Amino acid sequence: MNAMRPGELRERCPAVLAFVDEATNLFKPDTVIWCTGSKAEYQYLLRAMVKTGTAQWLNPELRPNSVLVRSDPADVARVEDQTFICSVSPDDAGPTNNWSDPAKMKANLRELFDGAMVGRVMYVVPYSMGPVGSPIARIGIMITDSAYAAASMHIMTRVGDTVLAALGTGTDFVRGLHTVGVPLKKATWADEPWPCNQTKYIAHFPETREIWSYGSGYGGNALLGKKCHSLRIASAQARDEGWLAEHMLILKLTNPEGKSKFIAAAFPSACGKTNLAMLVPTIPGWKAETIGDDICWMKFGADGRLYAINPETGFFGVAPGTSNESNLNAMKTLDANCIFTNVALTEDDDIYWEGMGKEPPAQLTDWLRRPWTPSAGRPAAHPNARFTAPAAQCPVIAKEWDDPAGVPIDAILFGGRRASVVPLVSEALSWRHGTFLGSIMASEKTAAAAGQIGDLRRDPMAMLPFCGYHMGDYFRHWIEMGEKGGETMPKIFYVNWFRKSAEGKFLWPGYAENSRVLKWIFERCDGTAEAIETPIGKLPADGALDLDGLKVEPSAMAELLKVDREGWKAELPSIKEHFETFGAKLPQGLAAELTALEQRLG
């Protein structure tokens, strides 16, 4: 399909054209480019980044059609303290979000937006979150002056004319405005390799389905289809329309008899979502395939079950720690056609990061363009260095991954990094109990968000930074979804791969061995695996976990599956304090679950 010209757009997409005209008048760019989604256009964007020094080509023999991008040192992660939910009432944003008055925020940002793209190209990026035309998918129009953001959206979403054709004269699309906030006011000014502004705002307007982003070029702040649309705006849409937009991977698990189940799992960023989504089972005859590694949108199907799509078409993954050992399939996905951000560069123009699974080269160029050797005493790659890779390249991508109808979800997993208290796996006693377990999830902070690494924080459903409305209402929505779905709802499980011994060593090998836990979950959904009911949920019965060939001491397994009554009792005050955060909006059902847990613990 050829690119539609503005004249055609006036007839076919008048609402989009009006939005673009308004943005053009505000930003005052030098040039406007409508993204068509073609391969040639993607190559043009890569060349534009290389020309301005934003990117450099990697070795075409080692990493074909791939580039390395290095950010400004002050623009390396999501800026949660400058991320706002701008609802009319502060009560709708809730205590876990930064709230701002929509009118005041827009007035402030309009001042910053005025002329912000002088001397720059303004890219118009029509995109679909999910297969174009899927009943679960949603459309957005993103305005940006970042070639990096536009190129990344090409990988992460379905971009271009097919999206405009699907939208037509419709007005139901998310309106996204993004600028790095560095106008080139004189033609003689040289552009910066990674332009960004010290002032940063990531503002969401759930009631009007808008995203206004200023000052940052980093993915989580600048790829508006990512967390901004697919979670913060979509979660509000989901509440209003009766579905779920969640921070979850989706995987397909098939047993030796050829029977498959689909599992969604919520973990905070950098806690192993991508690894689990692409794991290679160690149990003979079992097969795991990837649907998605980060976002899961679920709607009720005609049969009353929850059906899910991965609204993305790429992986925006944390590079450090990714290796052939931890995630062979991710590494194979990175062979070509990728954008790498803030990783190190080898002498033969390939990539390197900590935890890659091989000895670091004698010499590198680090992510700050400095010479690096193993004795440097600092990481060569930034801890939150990223890869942006097409999902279709994943060697274990499931055939259903882009099915417009979605896949039926059999089980939902919650988990995080916990050194103690939380066992390897437990099954919720009910949907409401599972919602309770998700609501009290706690995990150690990672490099994906600004702040001190290692701090423990409650991160309900791994949605703390991403829920676009009051989390008390979010919990209520989960409970109501369970009441609506009844017996057809997925089973909920709580997992913890990160339990440690008294000596501080991991008790569970993790990675591919997590397939043993998934097998038990699969069999629990089938009603064939044994479990014992405990005060915290149903745990695997003795012998129910397939440990054949696994070298884990019986004492370690006992610790991994132990119900730490005293540990849970000690945690009750912290849970109560956490629930007090939500005030009168905490659903009575969750308060009742907390009371029931306290009584069961004795």
Question: Phi/psi of residue 509, each to 5°?
Answer: -70, -25
Whether residue 331 contacts residue 351, with contact meaning beta carbons closer than 8 Å, is answered with no
Answer whether residue 488 shows pLDDT above 80: yes
Rounded Cα distance between 539 and 101, Å, is 47
**What integer is the mean pLDDT of 274-287?**
95
**What tokens were used for 549?**
């060939």
Confidence of residue 2 (pLDDT cuts 50, 70, 90): very low
Which residues on adjacent β-strands are paired with residue 263?
Answer: 251, 411
Rounded Cα distance between 526 and 541, Å, is 16
Q: Write out pLDDT tens, residues 319-375.
A: 999 999 889 999 999 999 999 999 999 999 999 999 998 789 999 999 999 999 999
pLDDT of 187? 67
Which residue segments constitute the domains of the chain, with CATH numbers given? 6-56+75-241 (3.40.449.10), 245-313+402-601 (3.90.228.20), 315-393 (2.170.8.10)
Answer whether residue 493 shows pLDDT above 50: yes
DSSP string covering 288-321: EEEEESS-EEEEE-TTS-EEEE---SEEEEE-TT
**What are the CA-CA distances from residue 333 to residues 21, 405, 437 (Å)?**
39, 25, 33
Query: How many residues comprise the chain?
Result: 602
Helix (H) or strand (E) holding 110: helix 102-113
**In the block, residue with structure tokens 């906030």:** 181
Rounded Cα distance between 153 and 183, Å, is 22
pLDDT of 1? 30
pLDDT of 210? 98
**Ramachandran category for residue 8: left, alpha or beta (phi over 0 → left; psi -120 to 50 → alpha):** alpha
pLDDT of 524? 98
**What integer is the mean pLDDT of 261-278?**
88
Q: What is the pTM of this model?
A: 0.95
Whether residue 441 contacts residue 460, with contact meaning beta carbons closer than 8 Å, is answered with yes
Q: Write out pLDDT tens, residues 396-450.
A: 999 999 999 999 999 999 998 999 999 999 999 999 999 999 999 997 655 555 5
Answer whether residue 62 shows pLDDT above 70: yes
Q: Write out pLDDT tens, residues 129-183.
A: 999 999 999 999 999 999 999 999 999 999 999 999 999 999 999 999 999 999 9
**What tokens were used for 124?**
């118009």
Question: Cβ contacts of residue 249 below 8 Å, gap of 6+?
Answer: 264, 265, 267, 273, 274, 276, 277, 291, 292, 293, 294, 296
Radius of gyration of the chain (CA): 24
Answer whether residue 3 shows pLDDT above 80: no
CA 544 centroid distance within chain: 32
Q: Where are the alpha helices (DSSP H) in 244-285?
A: 273-277
CB atoms within 10 A of CB 482: 18
CA quadruple 118, 119, 120, 122: dihedral, nearest 10: 50
CB atoms within 10 A of CB 584: 6
Share of the chain above pLDDT 90, in %: 90
Catalytic (active-site) positions: 271
CA 421 centroid distance within chain: 26
The half-sphere exposure of 527 on its side-chain side, counting CA atoms within 13 A, is 0
Helix (H) or strand (E) holding 467: none
Which residues on adjacent β-strands are paired with residue 349?
Answer: none
**What tokens were used for 318?**
């944390």
pLDDT of 11? 73
Answer whether residue 6 shows pLDDT above 80: no
Rounded Cα distance between 68 and 46, Å, is 10
Q: Write out pLDDT tens, residues 195-204.
A: 999 999 999 9
Average pLDDT, the chain: 94
